Amino acid sequence: MTVNVEQNRLEENVTVAASHGTLRRSMLRAAVGGASALGALGVLGSGTATAASPLHTPPSPASSPPTRPVRTPRAALQALLDGNRRWRTSTQRHPNEDPAARRRAIAGQAPFAVVLGCIDSRVPPEHVFDQGLGDLLTPRSAGQVLDESVIGSVEYGVVALRIPLVVVLGHQSCGAVKSAIEIEQTGEQLPGSIQYIAERIWPAIDQTQQGDARLNATTDANALMIRDQLAALPTLATRIAAGQLSVVSARYELTDQSVRLLP
């Protein structure tokens, strides 16, 4: 897929309606209650490191913390698409891996995108988008399934770190989606909490196709469903309405390493 096609998709995805469904949850309510709560959240992940391991002496911190390279949803999405182009053409820049970037990271973080991805070891977001230390906030769960901790992690990035873009990244040959389809057909019970993952994916299962076509359609539908669930959260919906945030879904292809935006 060419960059021009993705740029056209960007126009369609830069604002996501926040009127699709609701998700019962209670985490981070205090984050929108006032400046003091927001300040408390900031301490969790954006403050300066103050403790050193007794086994290692860290380098001296840089004079200033890192700054966000892009500030708008549109620019953030374009930066990811540009990075994926470099990844799939083997022209990566491997940004923010040098000693200076590591020193800046001691003073704080300023990621420009949240990428909610699957746990699949073949789809590491920093590689797929050719980004470096401090560029992305990357919560991950099997099949991108939402629970309270995943939701809270996304909300933290948006509320406390003021990240302007959330990407729900599904991928080709997703094992979580495949398992969900199989046990929905057979009625088998998966062990432990793996069953929970499958049941969260069930509403997205395509009932009109079979085989690989069904797997592909369900993978896309699952990413779109999760996008809509996130966009409906009050903490995100208010920022979407104000033009401060975009929530989009995308799919990574293992065969050609490309990322395409979903409608």
- List, as residue ranges, the binding site for Zn(2+): 118, 120, 171, 174
DSSP at 140: B
d(CA 249, CA 170): 8
d(CA 117, CA 34): 30
Contacts of 211 (CB under 8 A, 6+ apart): none
Query: Interhelix angle for 194-201 vs 175-186, to 10°?
Result: 90
**Which residues are annotated binding-site positions?**
118, 120, 171, 174
Instruction: Kindly give the residue spans of alpha helices, DSSP state H, lying in 112-210.
Output: 125-128, 148-159, 175-186, 194-201
Q: Which amino acid makes up residue 211? A: G
Q: Which residue, chain included where needed, has tokens 């994926």?
A: 84
Query: How far is C-alpha 214 from the geometric centre of its chain's CA atoms?
Result: 24
Return the beta strands (E) in 32-182 as ranges: 113-117, 136-137, 165-171
* Residue 116, H or E segment: strand 113-117
Asked whether 109 and 42 are in contact (CB, 8 A), the reply is: no
d(CA 185, CA 180): 9
At residue 68, the 3 state secondary structure works out as coil
